[in-house]
Amino acid sequence: MSNEMNTTNKSEILKFNSLPKDEIRQISLGHRIWGKTQGFIYPFLTLFMLLVVTETIVRVFHIRNFILPAPTKIFETLFQSWPYLWTNAKPTLFVVIVGFTMSLCTAVPIGILIASSKVMEKFVYPLLVTAQTIPKIALAPMLIIWFGFSMTPKLVITVLISFFPMVINTVAGLKGVPQEMLDLARSSRASKLTTFRKIRWPFALPSVFAGLKIAITMAVIGAIVGEYIGADKGLGFVLIAAAGRLEMDLVFAAVVILVAIGMSSFYTLTFIERISIPWHESIRKENRGH
Amino acid sequence: MSHTNGQAIISISNLGKIYETPTSSVHAISDVSFDVEAGEFVSVLGPSGCGKSTLMMIAAGLRTKTSGAIQVNGRDVDGPMDDIGIVFQRDVLLDWANVIDNVMFSIEARKLPTKEYLPNAKRLLDSVGLADFYEARPYELSGGMRQRVSICRALVHDPQLLLMDEPFGALDALTREQMMLDLQSVWLQSKKTVLFITHSIQEAVFLSDRVIVMSPRPGTIDLDLRIDLPRPRSLHIMETPNFNAYMREIRETFEARGVITHV
Ligand SMILES: Nc1ncnc2c1ncn2[C@@H]1O[C@H](COP(=O)(O)OP(=O)(O)O)[C@@H](O)[C@H]1O
Ligand SMILES: [Mg+2]
């Protein structure tokens, strides 16, 4: 092996290379913290303002609780009815998490299968794309007939509704690998497995994560819809029951919890995404703090 | 593997390629014949779109030919081969891997022993001024540094033949001159056979033992010019009459073909 170069004419590169890399990193860390703080404070300020305005309107015009409850009343109910709400949040949370996980565990492998097999791509993928347009919610009554009032129909709706964004984004990510990268793999005699592990999968990950983030919000919708149709517990059940009794403060309190479930699951995924694909444009941009 | 001088590493005869697409067929190259001998540095020079990349990709076994014959190391090309290193037109670095892992991809993919080749990867990176950047991610590097990494990746398994597709095409003029010097010194020390694709007359004359000039599409060979200039060449050789005579000859070939026209 004699690949060494002589070291003449290197002064220019060396000068260029000795840029203080650590310094650059530190600056970007500072930016990152600032960026995050900024990101959190501003929307909360807006939200706070909106709540103050609503509170004022409700009090000044004596708007009645069953039309629009005051924010303070909603938070009061949230604390007072917390045991009841939390008991009902648990089954919803269960359906969201289990449904999403089941969907993930089938959607991603199927996406990988479709992207790696011409036969699957020709025979199955078009059907899946078409099936995506079925309004899954319309199937809910039928699912009740098939599976009764158990947890099953809720899970099925959740799985169905979050399945398609994941499959389609997985396939799109894997199919989007640039020809040059595949040429690189082929010219290096890389096996299919190595090509997948080192090139196709990492390349597809940003797209897969985009799919997961759509899917998790869909999963929350799926769980609620499932509970709307027929349930004796869960936040969807609370929403229907409380609205029937015109207890709008309870309705809003349930919505607050739903928002919390939606946001925490979404940001959990965002967090996993950040540590999984720190190299991706979107993450790097965020870290630079705009 | 050792080759005596005078032995053809690449042997191309009457090579042709037609791309068939659903809407059209593009005659990319036509009737190309030439040999590249062991240890030779040969440039293929031609205007954009004349089929240079196509030619290189066929030589690399990554595209199929339509007609003619091509042999590498005495065997018909029917797919990617060991013992070849490729530098692509774009650097094709993997954003999710650091510099050293990008270079070592060549080794892992070929299932060569990682431990044995790691020192080689480091030595190569050191030799192109990237000693402090083993752990850096590609997006932290400048264009020139990225292309250096991709050259290291092409060399790390110590191939006999190096194929390079306009590796300096995207670089600024200064970086490009530095890269030309670096490449020359790698080549002088390793005595690898190099097929170098470029659209720069200056780059071709400076680096090559032979320059093969291609016509516009469908690309055929218009000129096969031996460059007899002493090595190692410094950048100042570009100011010499001999260098300029070669440049002029190539330019006149382009003019005769209407690639360059004067108003
Ligand atoms: N995969 C392809 N399918 C169809 N046409 C192609 C393909 N690759 C290249 N071509 C066409 O072949 C011609 C030569 O391309 P290329 O070899 O890339 O030229 P160069 O590298 O000299 O710029 C161009 O006209 C280009 O459009
Ligand atoms: Mg090209």
- A72-110 pLDDT, tens digit per residue, is 999 999 999 999 999 999 999 999 999 999 999 999 999
Q: Is the separation of the CB atoms in B253 and B64 below 8 Å? A: no
Count of CB atoms situated within 10 Å of the CB of B199: 17
DSSP 3-state percent helix, strand, coil across chain A (nearest 5): 80, 0, 20
Q: Verify whether the Cβ–Cβ distance A181 to B95 is below 8 Å.
A: no
Q: What is the DSSP code string of chain B?
A: ----TT-EEEEEEEEEEEEE-SS-EEEEEEEEEEEEETT-EEEEE--TTSSHHHHHHHHTTSS--SEEEEEETTEE--S--SSEEEE-SS----TTS-HHHHHHHHHHHTT--HHHHHHHHHHHHHHTT-GGGTT--GGGS-HHHHHHHHHHHHHTT--SEEEEESTTTTS-HHHHHHHHHHHHHHHHHH--EEEEEES-HHHHHHH-SEEEEEPSSSB-EEEEEE----SSPPGGGGGSHHHHHHHHHHHHHHHHHTSS---
For residue B228, give how far its alpha carbon lies from the nearest alpha carbon of chain A (Å). Answer: 23
Atom of ligand 1 at shortest distance to CA of B166? Answer: 21
- In this complex, which of A4, A185, A199 lies closest to B189 when CB atoms are compared? A4
Q: Based on C-alpha coordinates, what's the Rg of chain A?
A: 25
Q: Is the separation of the CB atoms in B185 and A5 below 8 Å? A: yes
Which letter does DSSP use for residue A10 in this model?
-
* 0.85 surpassed by complex ipTM: yes
Which letter does DSSP use for residue A133 in this model?
T
For residue A38, give how far its alpha carbon lies from the nearest alpha carbon of chain B (Å). Answer: 25
Amino acid (one-letter) located at A185 = A
Atom of ligand 1 at shortest distance to CA of B63? Answer: 1
Cα dist from B24 to A107, B49, B208, B249, whole Å = 38, 16, 36, 35
Percentage of chain A beyond pLDDT 90 is: 64
Report the residue of B96, B160, B195 to disrupt the A interface, i.e. the one with the largest count of A CBs within 10 Å: B96
Which residue in chain A is spatially nearest to B148 when comparing CA positions?
Answer: A13
In which residue are the tokens 């890269």 written? B179
Which residue in chain B is spatially nearest to A193 when comparing CA positions?
Answer: B109
Q: Any residues with CB less than 8 A from the CB of B136 and at least 6 apart, and which?
A: A21, B98, B99
Q: What are residue A20's phi and psi, to 5 degrees?
A: -70, 95
Amino acid (one-letter) located at B87 = V
Q: What are residue A202's phi and psi, to 5 degrees?
A: -60, -35
Query: How many residues comprise chain A?
Result: 290
Amino acid (one-letter) located at A34 = W
pLDDT digits (tens, 9 = 90+) for A215-252: 999 999 999 998 988 788 999 999 999 999 999 999 99
Q: Domain locations in chain A?
A: 2-60, 71-287
> Which token pair is A17?
């290379």
- In this complex, which of A2, A188, A203 lies closest to B105 when CB atoms are compared? A188
pLDDT digits (tens, 9 = 90+) for A251-267: 999 999 999 999 999 99
**Ligand closest in space to the Cα of B28:** 1
Q: Is the separation of the CB atoms in A112 and A170 below 8 Å? A: yes
Q: Which residue, among B238, B229, B203, has the nearest Cα to B46 in the 3D structure?
A: B203
Q: Domain locations in chain B?
A: 1-83+160-263, 91-159
- In this complex, which of B88, B129, B189 lies closest to A14 when CB atoms are compared? B129
- In this complex, which of B109, B127, B142 lies closest to A4 when CB atoms are compared? B127
- Prediction pTM value: 0.84
Measure B54 CA to ligand 1 centroid, in angstroms. 6
Q: Verify whether the Cβ–Cβ distance A202 to B142 is below 8 Å.
A: no
Judged by average pLDDT, the poorest of A6-10, A174-178, B72-76, B218-222 is A6-10
Which residue in chain A is spatially nearest to B91 when comparing CA positions?
Answer: A180
Report pLDDT for A12: 39
Which chain B positions have a beta carbon within 8 Å of A195's beta carbon?
A: 109
Q: How many CB pairs under 8 A join A and B?
A: 111
Q: Is the separation of the CB atoms in B209 and B38 below 8 Å? A: no
pLDDT digits (tens, 9 = 90+) for A38-78: 677 888 899 999 999 999 999 999 998 888 999 999 999 99
Strand order, beta sheet including B25-37: B25-37, B8-20, B67-72, B75-76
For residue B256, give how far its alpha carbon lies from the nearest alpha carbon of chain A (Å). Answer: 34
Measure B217 CA to ligand 1 centroid, in angstroms. 9
Measure B65 CA to ligand 1 centroid, in angstroms. 13
The fold of the B1-83+160-263 domain, in CATH, is Rossmann fold (3.40.50)
In which residue are the tokens 């409850």 written? A69
Q: Which residues of chain B have pLDDT under 70?
A: 1-6
Which chain B positions have a beta carbon within 8 Å of A2's beta carbon?
A: 189-191
Measure B224 CA to ligand 1 centroid, in angstroms. 22
Report pLDDT for A30: 58
Identify which of B54, B65, B164 to mutate to test ligand 1's pocket (most ligand atoms within 8 A of the CB): B54
Ligand 1 lining (C-beta closer than 6 Å):
B 19, 21, 26, 28, 46, 48-54, 217
Averaged confidence pLDDT in chain A = 86
- In this complex, which of A5, A13, A198 lies closest to B189 when CB atoms are compared? A5
**Superfamily of domain A71-287, CATH level 4:** MetI-like (1.10.3720.10)
Query: How many residues comprise chain B?
Result: 263
Q: Is the separation of the CB atoms in A75 and A187 below 8 Å? A: no
pLDDT digits (tens, 9 = 90+) for B212-228: 999 988 888 999 999 99
Query: How many Cα atoms are found within 13 Å in the side-chain-facing hemisphere of B106?
Result: 27
Count of CB atoms situated within 10 Å of the CB of A59: 11
Q: Verify whether the Cβ–Cβ distance A184 to B92 is below 8 Å.
A: yes
Report pLDDT for B242: 96
Report the residue of B57, B58, B86, B92 to disrupt the A interface, i.e. the one with the largest count of A CBs within 10 Å: B92
Q: What is the DSSP code string of A37-72?
A: HHHHHHHHHHHHHHHHHHHHHHHHTT--TTT---HH
